[in-house]
Chains A and B, each alone.
Chain A
Amino acid sequence: MSEPTNRASAVIVGAGIVGNSLAYHLARLGWRDLVLVDKGPMPNPGGSTGHASNFIFPVDYSKMMTELTEDSSAQYKELDVFTESGGIEVARTEARRQELRRRASAAKAWGVPHELLSPAGVAKLVPYIDVEAILEGLYFPTVGVVDSLRAGTLMREQAQQMGALAVRANTEIVGIDLSPDRRRVKVVRTTGGDIETDVCAICCGVWSPRIARMAGASIPLTPIVHQMISVGPIPLFADTVGEIVYPIVRDMDTNMYERQHGGDMEVGSYAHRPIIVQPEEIPSIEESVLSPTELPFTQDDFDPQLQDALELMPELLGDEKVGIRYAINGLISMTPDGHPVLGETPEVKGLWSVAASWIKEGPGIGRAVAEWMTGSAPEIDIHETDIARFYDHQRTREHVAARAQEGFNKMYGIVHPAEQWESQRPTRLSPVYERERELGAVFFETVGWERPFWYASNESLLERYGDRVMPRSAEWESRWWSPIINAEHLAMRDACGLVDLSAFVVFDIAGPGALPAVQSLTVAQMDVPVGRVVYTPLLDERGGFKSDLTIMRLGAQQFRVVTGGATGMSEKKWFLDHLPEDGSAQLTDLTSAWTTFGLWGPRARDVLQVCTDDDVSNAGFSFGTCRPVELGGIRVLASRISYVGELGWELHVPIEEGARAWETLWQAGHDHGIVAVGIGVYGTTGRLEKGYRAFGNELTGDYNIVEAGMARPSVKKDEFIGKAPYLDQRDREPAALLCTLTVDDHRSASGSLRYMLGGEPVLSLEGEQLVDEKGRPSYVTSAGSGPSVGKHLLLAYLPIAYAKQGSALTVEYLSESYPVTVAVVGSTPLFDPDNERVRS
């Protein structure tokens, strides 16, 4: 009898598509003594993989999801389990037709084959569609179906053949023991014995939160129902050889899909009411009739969809001889923001979450996380999936459930890029929230913070600036936008703006080891005089962007990091993970202790001087420095930097004094034309005119400092993560360069003026995709108004041959072409190129 292994390099919990893929890729990367555990039997332990619809549509608005899907498809093809069937998204409404065009442009951006078809064109491919029911279709010829169970089995067996993996089926996890300091994994306890290990990867889909809780960690996802039925035998499919010959149909407007499965038609729905199942309610394998994730069908929830399906495919599905042979409430995982939840949990080292993946990115996620676990940033940039991104409030059951419910019916919905959540608001309020409400703030939510994007009370500025506010007439780009943003921008550049930046994440790195600690992470030199503010990128192990942030040296052994709310929690974990083992540098999170206001514009100094007797002249307080300043009866930490490219300061205030600080500045600014300015300006218009890059848009793991035009003359002698690849990048010609483009003509075919929002493909004059040597396609990374320069501005990386000032190119927006010109190659600002304002 074989003794169960009692020491493993990693324990992988869950043998669905994700767990199997992870095991295989870890083995491929050299890991040995892996153990894969599942409470169910092989090959189908009864998770979501076992009943999945198994089809893959390659396009997504998210570049990351598209890449993960592409990688997964390649892996499925290599395993010979991919059947190409083609797929069509059909439109029943005019709104959906515009959405199909938006999707077509996204497909163009990522190089996914696609074709817009008339109803007759759709019927040629899918003869059983009623052409009267649809207006149009978007055809993706490379859509396919996969045998995910077989793929997982093959990957698992390959890992076993490599001698890298032991598999324990029918084995339940009963506990995860931690080190005495409760910070690391030590033992995974199962019904088949204990396994000593430093690494445990939770790949259990809907069960993941339960397993994580055993270790005192949280994985924010909820099980949720997705209904599907299978009807047959379909006479038309009687002669089908294999699994599928007809393209899959996604009936987007009704939130449904229909896919052939042998002689049957599988009909799935995301249209029903969101049905959340508590993890404790998921039946065990013994209790289940089919499997724990195939729950009893609730007929009433599906009945309206029968009508929709019959409308679309009347003869096929209306045939009395075609019976509903299978019907389930299938369980899948949903997260609060719709992205997978991957990475080492912030709570416990060695405990990895690999959860909330679809079949279509399962193998790709397995590979990426294996690379990540092996100590390198994955080849595909998956920073958006980092489990460390969540704040405490986002991990609560109520938040997860509320957002999952709100997000469920949006699966096939038309979701505007700036669309706002409604549930669980408000949660995090700035100390001047009430003041902002009085000013008519239009709040957008960012990681729980209510942030004013513009202020209705500034409507009077529209008259002052007339057409310079670049009004928009088309509905789509006017949604979640206002010309008031541009008016605030102009008023700020004319006089002075006050911006609420409470959503920053702030933390100190302090102690005798603080300088070496930050030095080892930043590109910029951190051994600067006390009182210096440093803006710096951080790189990952492969030399791509990990983040960008500012650090103030407040003392010989004290560094204050200030970074954006959306990325701050991931960055915090990055710092924590790289602090010295001896504890000589400590991280203190000060996010809830400090609030920040931005005061910027040509009159900013005038305003500040009213409130303080301290010397805030240019000589007395130079750019890029920080110091305490008395603001009337309180003391603030003033930092002279500017993300909007104007003279001014970020003012850091103890949160309980924030309201007073705002009021002091507001009163002082009254005679100097002060205007409340929202994030519409701070996040977009201000920085686009200055060519300031944003992480997640321009600065991602896919691009490097040289390509982003941010290389400094020299590189510091100190070691830092990513230094070697960075030095190498500096020695080579970049494959692409980040450019600012202007739109020459906004007129669409129908004569209206259209304004891009970001994500659009940048094409040659002939309409061909631009792809650089590294295989990266050009697309708009940021788009927005540049009111001071009177142009709509786009940022995009262009292959070196096209990255020339004056190059004429095109951008495809909603499937129409617009001429654009390269205005700037690199980071020279379009507005105030010599930075006179900032340095005044």
Chain B
Amino acid sequence: MNVLVCIKRVPMVGGKIAVTADAQSVETRLLGFTVSPHEECAVEEAVRIVELRGGAVSVLTLGPPDAADQLRDAVAVGAGNPILLETDGREWGPIATAGAIVDAVRRHESSGEPYDLILFGNEAADTGDYQVGVRVAHELGRPCVTGIKHLEISDVAVRARREFRGGDELFELNLPAVVTVKEGINLPRYPSLPGRMRAKKAVVEQSTPERHDDPVHLQALRVPVVERQRAEILGTGLEAVPALVALLEQLGVLS
């Protein structure tokens, strides 16, 4: 099985996020980086498939030179063939991103083995467009399902299951196929020390992708004002009753 996993370098943020002065990106100067939990699971899923059935896992990202760190994280847990489509780090948007990935896939498949399966995380942790996997599948003319929580692979097909309104939907797709997975599909392993050392030595294949046009432009990022929750103690025991009654009247719930 030849599996390709696509990941995206995103900042690791806490509860409060700052935006750069030009409002074009998150302020990342003091932040660490990672990939979305969906993508972590996608990498884990790919590694498991190949452990079970043999073959190879390639991992690809579109991003700045430092995105090689995220590729190496994937290598540390068992992926091979790290591929970097190098940009200056600015957001490309889903159309241009998908276009560059399709170009890379076609390039690889023309000179080597086709990818039986291309895995994506359901959405990137920062932009959350939900589109890249679907667009790649469409351009490659391959079947695609999204939001998958369980995969079963055979030689020619993949059965994929996802949750939907309290029930499950079950799909069967012929290979080659594209699947986007959701966190919960598996429990990703942590890298081992030898794994990390292999990752450090791994050679990253680097290229500069062509940027396809995208009619959608980011105007600005805005951090919404968060209402600070406040709690007011009306009183304790019987003392609180008058204030409580007054409040209920104010809310209009007393008949």
Contacts and interface: CB of A to CB of B under 8 A. Distances in A.
Interface string A299-322: 100010011011000000111111
A286 interface: yes
Given A299-B69, A303-B200, A286 B16 contact: yes
A325 B72 CA distance: 16
A284 B15 CA distance: 10
Contacts of A681: none
Contacts of A231: 190, 192-193
A289 B193 contact: no
Interface string B1-31: 0000000000011111110000000000011
A127 interface: no
Contacts of A325: 190
Interface in A254-289: 281, 283-289
B192 A324 contact: yes
B30 A322 contact: no
Interface string B166-196: 0000000000000000000000011111111
B244 interface: no
A283 B30 contact: yes
A790 interface: no
Contacts of A306: 193, 196-197
A296 B193 contact: no
A782 B191 CA distance: 52
Contacts of B16: 284, 286-287
Nearest to B196: A306
A283 B13 CA distance: 11
Contacts of B14: 283, 285-289
Nearest to B32: A296
Given A296-B31, A320-B192, A322-B192, A287 B15 contact: yes
A514 B196 CA distance: 69
A282 B189 CA distance: 30
Given A289-B12, A289-B14, A324 B233 contact: no
Interface size class of B (residues with CB under 8 A): 20 to 34
A241 interface: no
A295 interface: yes
Contacts of B195: 320
Contacts of A287: 13-18
Contacts of B192: 231, 318-324
A692 interface: no
A1 interface: yes
A326 B12 CA distance: 15
Nearest to A230: B190
B193 A317 contact: yes
A310 B190 contact: no
Nearest to A281: B30
B31 A309 contact: no
A303 B191 contact: no
A324 B13 contact: no
Nearest to B29: A281
A131 B123 CA distance: 49
Interface in B192-228: 192-197, 200
Nearest to A277: B30
A621 interface: no
Nearest to B13: A289
Nearest to A326: B190
A271 to B, nearest CB: 15
A265 to B, nearest CB: 10
B191 A324 contact: yes
Contacts of B18: 287
Contacts of A320: 192, 194-195
A128 interface: no
B32 A323 contact: no
Contacts of B30: 281, 283
A322 B12 CA distance: 24
Contact of A1 (B17, B69, B189, B233): B233
A296 B12 contact: yes
A303 B17 CA distance: 30
A297 interface: yes
Contacts of A321: 192
Nearest to A303: B200
A748 B15 CA distance: 63
A658 B7 CA distance: 70
Interface in A159-202: none
A318 B190 contact: no
A790 B31 CA distance: 64
Nearest to A328: B32
Contacts of A307: 197
B32 A322 contact: no
A324 B32 contact: no
Nearest to B31: A296
Given A289-B12, A303-B197, A323 B233 contact: no
B193 A322 contact: yes
A283 to B, nearest CB: 6
Interface string A19-37: 0000000000000000000
Contacts of B233: 1
A309 B200 CA distance: 16
A63 B30 CA distance: 40
Contact of A303 (B31, B190, B196): B196
Contacts of B189: 323
A303 B196 CA distance: 8
Given A231-B190, A284-B16, 13 more contacts: A285-B14, A289-B12, A296-B31, A299-B196, A306-B193, A306-B197, A310-B193, A320-B192, A321-B192, A322-B192, A323-B189, A323-B190, A323-B192
Interface of A: 1, 231, 281, 283-289, 295-297, 299, 303, 306-307, 309-310, 317-325
21 contacts: A281-B30, A283-B30, A286-B15, A287-B15, A287-B16, A289-B12, A289-B13, A289-B32, A295-B32, A296-B32, A297-B32, A299-B69, A303-B196, A303-B197, A306-B193, A318-B192, A322-B192, A323-B190, A324-B190, A324-B191, A324-B192
Identify the 5 closest CB pairs spanning chains A and B, nearest first: A296-B32, A323-B190, A286-B16, A286-B15, A288-B14
